[in-house]
Amino acid sequence: MILWGKISQFSVFMVLQLLASYRKSGLLEIEDKAERAIIYLKDGFIEAVSVPRSDHLLGARLVKAGLLTPADLRKIILSSASRDKKEFLGITLMKSGIVDKMEIVNVIAEQAYENTLELSNWVEGTFKFIVPRKSAIFPLSPHINVQHLLLETSRRLDEGQRPTKTKLALPSEELCLSCASNCTEEQKDKYLKDGICLWRNMPVLVREAIFTPGTDEAAEPEEFFSDLPFL
């Protein structure tokens, strides 16, 4: 184990940013009471995000997206089960030619976005980052940039999307006491909702783009640019 901590002190998003900045490869395991999630990283990029959800099967997602019929999926699963050598469903689908490789990768990427959204309301428990002796290999990986993943997750949260599974959240007062963001009342009114601090979970880049404390919004553009050294 290389890194360990409490989610109440360091959010999952903060830890992901740290690991991505150092281009780490390994497993980020998050445990919240009886549940456990795993984020697979390679060279600082997301290979897969696994959370305890019922709607996570690739085949079901492809059928839901209209890329595969239930009958075709059933045939492929039965054919794969009869073989001596087992392989990922995505590989079997790609070999069959029924579904395009990039369409499969896009569905896996969307699954990663949705699963990361689920992790946004995990506020209790612990995280640990480990480098296993034998790394997991994902033949069909979306290879998602962590910053892009967090930007997309933050956008969905800001637009009102919420995790499908309710988690026990910390009281707002306790959550704020364990945070070092020093938010203003304006930020708390907008981003502290339903026991989830959207501001705490947002990447720094998103925070700066949305709201910068102490900025005089009434200032003229000429006044802002006059202090830049390259003009």
- 72-76 long-range contacts (CB < 8 A, ≥24 apart) are 72/98
Domain count across the chain: 1
Q: What is the pLDDT of residue 30?
A: 93
In a domain, 118, yes or no: yes
Q: What is the pLDDT of residue 104?
A: 87
The CA angle 107-110-114, to the nearest 5 degrees, is: 140
In a domain, 221, yes or no: no
Helices (H), the chain: 12-21, 58-64, 70-81, 89-96, 101-119, 146-158, 172-177, 185-191, 198-201, 204-210, 221-225
Q: What is the pLDDT of residue 146?
A: 93
Q: What is the mean pLDDT of each run of 10 residues along the chain (231 residues)?
A: 85 90 94 87 92 69 89 84 69 81 89 88 88 80 90 84 68 64 74 63 52 45 38 30
Classify strands 45-50 and 35-42 as parallel, antiparallel or unpaired.
Answer: antiparallel
In a domain, 219, yes or no: no
CA distances from 157 to 56, 152, 192, 201 (A): 20, 9, 11, 10
In a domain, 224, yes or no: no
| pTM given for the model | 0.68
Q: What is the pLDDT of residue 230?
A: 34
In a domain, 87, yes or no: yes
CA distance 141 to 118: 20
Domain that holds residue 175: 3-210
In a domain, 222, yes or no: no
Least Cα distance to 187 among 170, 199, 203, 169 occurs for: 199
In a domain, 69, yes or no: yes
Q: What is the pLDDT of residue 228?
A: 35
142 residue type, one letter: P
Q: What is the pLDDT of residue 129?
A: 96
In a domain, 223, yes or no: no
In sequence order, the β-bridge partners of residue 38 are 29, 50
CA distance 9 to 16: 14
